[in-house]
Amino acid sequence: MASTADIKNGVVLSIDGQLWSVIEFQHVKPGKGGAFVRTKLKNVVSGKVVDRTYNAGAKIEIENVDRRDFSYLYADGDGFVFMDTSDYDQITVPGTVVGDAANFMLENQAVTIALNNGNPLYVELPASVVLEITYTEPGLQGDRSTGGTKPATVQTGYEIQVPLFLETGTKVKVDTRDGSYLGRVND
């Protein structure tokens, strides 16, 4: 067991069976009363942010979270198979853990997976990926980049909004956080 003196940014705490990452902390020593530690914690899985205060010296449980580089291989039923790029071990991550990241993953895509005691917590993608448009309505003469948008299906099967002038077969850069179109990519 650790104490509040061990709290640092990035440390992962186990609170009521859930994992919380310390975003920021502050040791406070008021003129009257005991010292305390004010923390801002982010849930490792859901991303929810909460404030929590601990009395100085209180016992806390620090968890070991290992972030490692993996390469996405293929989907297998409800799971996704990844290969550790350092030792070539393969792991299967459930679809519930992968979540929306599945919309942007191509074979051999480099990802970071956070592991706690061998259990995958979440999959982290690069900020943007390049995907090819597999289907979109044809553009009309006069459609320009300042106009509206239209739906387009990319090679992972995910649908995004793109400018009217883009056509099927165009490679586009997509933001992995919200699925927004970032620009056209020239080969």
pLDDT at site 146: 61
pLDDT at site 154: 92
Per DSSP, what are the bridge partners of residue 131?
172
Backbone angles phi, psi at 142, to 5 degrees: 100, -10
CA 149 – CA 151 distance, rounded (Å): 7
Q: Delineate the domains of the chain, giving CATH numbers in brackets.
A: 2-63 (2.30.30.30), 66-124 (2.40.50.140), 128-185 (2.40.50.140)
Report the candidate in 66, 63, 99, 179 with the shortest Cα–Cα distance to residue 131.
Answer: 179
pLDDT at site 92: 92
CA 85 – CA 30 distance, rounded (Å): 49
77 CB neighbour count, 10 Å cutoff: 8
pLDDT at site 117: 83
pLDDT tens series, the chain, 187 aa = 788 888 888 888 988 888 888 889 999 998 888 899 999 998 887 778 999 999 988 899 988 888 899 999 998 888 999 999 989 899 999 988 888 888 999 899 899 998 888 888 888 888 899 999 999 888 666 656 566 788 899 999 999 998 888 888 899 999 988 888 998 888 6
pLDDT at site 4: 85
CA 121 – CA 142 distance, rounded (Å): 48
- Lookup: tokens for 26: 């502050």
Cα–Cα distance list, 157 to 135, 148, 149, 151, 160 (Å): 10, 22, 18, 12, 10
Residues 6+ away with beta carbon under 8 Å from 88: none
pLDDT at site 171: 92
pTM of the model: 0.73
Per DSSP, what are the bridge partners of residue 27?
37
CA 13 – CA 8 distance, rounded (Å): 10
Strand residues in 5-107 grouped as ranges (E): 12-15, 18-28, 36-43, 49-55, 59-60, 62-63, 66-76, 79-84, 90-94
pLDDT at site 160: 92
